[in-house]
Amino acid sequence: MEHDPDELLSSVEAAATDALDAAGVRLGDVAAIGIANQRETTVVWERGTGRPVHPAIVWQDRRTAARCHELPAGLVRSRTGLVPDPYFSATKLEWILERTVLPPEELAFGTVDAWLAWKLTGGDAHVTDLTNASRTMLLDLERGAWDDELLALFGVDRAVLPRIVPSSGVVGEASLLGDRVPIAGLAGDQQAALFGHGCFARGEAKATYGTGTFVLVVLGDDPGEPVDGLLTTAAAVEPGASRRYAAEGSVLVGGAALQWLRDGLGLIGSAADSESLATSVESTEGVHFVPALTGLGSPQWRPDARGVISGLTRGTTRAHLVRAALEAVAHQVADVLEALPLRAEVLRADGGATANGFLMQLQADLIGCPVEVAAEAESTALGAAALAGLAVGTWSDAAEVASLVRRGSRYEPLMDADEVAERRAKWHEAVRRALV
């Protein structure tokens, strides 16, 4: 799975134009901009020309799965908080560098934040923030610095790496739409969403329902021991704050399962049709869909797993399959929360799928705690804006940002505990079939 890096840049320019038009302001009126991005997607470009040497390799790409089996899992886990998986940037970078003849000093690497900052500043800023750096499998998480042993493991020269900067702080001036504006916020999309929800205290949790579904729970300033099946990652912080960490469960296929039902099988016209179809039947009639379309992420971390649809009969309809796909999203989030050593009192939710009331109610039922949907579905963008605004004094502190966060619908758990246990057991049996 690949992107054209230049199309990523042009999409940002187009989005900026649309946003300014919608707000009725000029770029000169804007105090600062923040960037949130696909975290592990990997770009390598020529320093002299700014041309990419290869298409960007997307976070969902699995081409380096075999290489990950060769990696020292203990070293990766203890040093980075991650697990050896093609999801992360290091093996993608290694793969590109092995196919590139230019010397390291003529190359630059970055996740999408670094690529955009470089291009928007005309090459003045080759930077990435700590949240994105923590997703590369090249960072010593405890020190917050690139790790020499990991660089040697993947054959990465320091000359290609961006400078690590805080998530909130001016890193350069962007030339955009004929004007200049400070870039004052950088954060990986999931950490930006965590910030946009106002989740700053230990135990506060959010889930973003997008192509994948990503659950982050704040651990505080001490990450503790790694939790089986989950990742430890850097959280975005406001200026002057001490470092914060989060436990993360990465569900690799969430909304992408509905996209596959739409584009691959033609069962639905749009993802928005899924709620009415799911509620048109009383249950899945025993159908389970484990959407391991790009392997399984948390808590199994099995890149070799493959999708399974089980329980089919002649009575199975597209409504049953769509309902099973939605239930799979909720079950996978429940799997992540069950793996945590601390209980979340409420799950804050954002992303396009939060408009699906069936999914949100089922989610509350399966995890046994309330689900609060953000009034602003794009909490990722809100978090990026907040980080930028804090850096230039638009807001005074994180508490002020938290006071601005508005809550939308709230879903309370209603399902009987015995029924939840039965459903969870049947789901786990379906997952075992995907791991064979």
366-381 residue pLDDT tens:
999 999 999 987 899 9
d(CA 16, CA 181): 12
pLDDT at residue 224, as a whole number: 86
Extract the residue ranges of the chain whose pLDDT is less than 50: none
Report the 10 Å Cβ neighbour count for 356: 23
- b/e 73-110 (16+ beta carbons within 10 angstroms → b): eeebeebbbbbbbbbbbbbbbbbbbeebeeebebbbbb
For 12-30, give the DSSP string.
Answer: HHHHHHHHHHHHT--GGG-
Please name which of 108, 104, 114 lies closest in space to residue 155, comparing C-alpha atoms. Answer: 104
Residue pair 245/223 in contact by the 8 Å Cβ criterion: yes
> Residue 301: is it exposed, middle or buried by C-beta count within 10 angstroms (0-12/13-18/19+)?
buried
Residue pair 2/58 in contact by the 8 Å Cβ criterion: yes
- pTM across the whole model: 0.92
pLDDT at residue 259, as a whole number: 94
Report CA-CA distances (Å) from 367 to 346, 414, 417.
Answer: 10, 11, 10
- b/e 124-135 (16+ beta carbons within 10 angstroms → b): ebbbbbbbbbbb
d(CA 177, CA 53): 26
d(CA 85, CA 101): 26
- Domain boundary assignment for the chain: 2-187
Question: Which CATH number applies to 2-187?
Answer: 3.30.420.40
E strand segments, 41-151: 43-46, 56-57, 107-110, 127-129, 139-140, 145-146
pLDDT at residue 157, as a whole number: 98
d(CA 150, CA 430): 36
Structure tokens at 424: 């969870």
Tens digits of per-residue pLDDT, 374-405? Answer: 998 789 999 999 999 999 999 999 999 999 88
pLDDT at residue 238, as a whole number: 94
pLDDT at residue 270, as a whole number: 86
pLDDT at residue 67, as a whole number: 96
Please name which of 55, 138, 65 lies closest in space to residue 99, comparing C-alpha atoms. Answer: 55
pLDDT at residue 365, as a whole number: 98
Tens digits of per-residue pLDDT, 218-265? Answer: 999 998 888 899 999 999 999 999 999 999 999 999 999 999 999 999
